[in-house]
Structure 1
């Protein structure tokens, strides 16, 4: 039997961490955009432009990952409320405790995690 209360706590802590990270990532993106706009030379020919473009790309990717992770966490919390947490969304079998330890937001057992089963 899955200890749902423990996983709810883990998920809520993970959600809080992601929510705290989002404003910092947005600020990084705003700073990179401001630096890019203040640059008089295009990114391709400005040595600093490449750095700015890289920082902007990296911060944008991290923001996207954080948003995606947050959505997965929210979905897992919804499954807890619905009573379906720890049950594979494909086969309906229980998800191994070890898998939930590693990825408490997963809706899939190990067999269906890759989508190849």
Structure 2
């Protein structure tokens, strides 16, 4: 297994690139909406532009949330608590951390929180 800090920093770099791309996409959608009829309700293209803006905005928010989670995971590496479940105190599990390096909980606790 590679160093957790390296995995987290790589995931952070990927997320930053994704966020930059999504932000550019969002700006393009907003700019496109300025060139169209501002009446989304009556403009057949307005609903599409509003939908695209909403979709890209949601993806931007998700990328920002992931970035915050990765930063928090890096802080846990620094304080020695990385890889320990925040709910039960057991190990999160190597496979889970490979799949989701920012994971705060073991798979059992993650399942419980979704139920």
| TM-score, normalised relative to structure 2 | 0.88
The alignment yields a C-alpha RMSD, in angstroms, of 1.8
What is the rounded CA distance, in whole Å, between the counterparts of 2:82 and 2:38 in structure 1? 53
Give the structure 2 partner of residue 99 of structure 1: 96
Displacement, 1:57? Answer: 1.0
CA contact (8 A) 2:37 2:46 kept: no
Specify which of 11, 21, 26 is matched with residue 23 of structure 2.
Answer: 26
Unmatched runs of 5 consecutive residues or more in structure 1 = none
* Mean Cα deviation higher: 102-111 or 20-29: 20-29
Q: How many residues align?
A: 114
Q: CA deviation at 1:9?
A: 1.1
In the alignment, the residues of structure 2 paired with residue 88 and residue 103 of structure 1 have an alpha-carbon distance, to the nearest angstrom, of: 13
Runs of 4+ with >4 A deviation: none
Q: Specify every segment of 5 or more residues in structure 2 that has no aligned partner in the other structure, as ranges.
A: none
The normalised TM-score by structure 1 is 0.86
- Quote the offset at 1:83 in angstroms: 0.4
Residue 10 in structure 1 maps to residue 19 in structure 2: no
